[in-house]
Amino acid sequence: MDSTSAGRGHRLRPLRFFLAFSALVWGVSWIGVFLPWPAAVDALQGLGARDLPADPMLDYWLRMASAACGLVGLLYGLTAWNPGRHVAMLPCLGRLMLVEGGVLLFHGARLELPPFPFVADVAACFVGGGGILCSLGNRRSEPGGGTASP
């Protein structure tokens, strides 16, 4: 590996970190796909949910939402693996995290949710999205930098 490649890899570390962090934030949702319904209810109640009836549609929606969020996590993971291959979508992925954080903040406040896990979810979205965008901004400010060649 030449010094140019080593330097570029070093500068990509923050971007990869925030992409991997975002992959983990979204990817944890895979748990909901595989938990049996009683265990899923226990987990959700541990996060602040009230009583949940044994309802086939709720079970189905949990699996659907968990898989969708998990697939988003997979997308972030793939971009963390090789950001240069997915450079065009990196700004969109950063903004997606910020928009999600805004949606969670708005509705969490509207519903007067307790701080846990609401504040942690919002913070994770803002840290992940802001970190991705800041990492891209740093690349643009470098001589010969820019997002065209991470």
Site of tokens 């699996």: 63
In a domain, 88, yes or no: yes
Given this model, what pLDDT does residue 35 score?
A: 97
What's the maximum distance between 2 C-alpha atoms anywhere in the chain?
60
In a domain, 1, yes or no: no
In a domain, 146, yes or no: no
In a domain, 60, yes or no: yes
Which structural domain, as residue segments, surrounds residue 40? 6-141
3 state DSSP class of 71: helix
pTM for the whole structure: 0.85
In a domain, 147, yes or no: no
Low-confidence ranges of the chain (pLDDT < 70): 1-9, 138-150
Domain count, the chain: 1
Question: 110-123 burial, b if ≥16 CB within 10 A, otherwise e?
Answer: eeeeeeeebeebbe
In a domain, 84, yes or no: yes
Given this model, what pLDDT does residue 103 score?
A: 98
Q: Are 114 and 48 in contact (CB under 8 A)?
A: yes
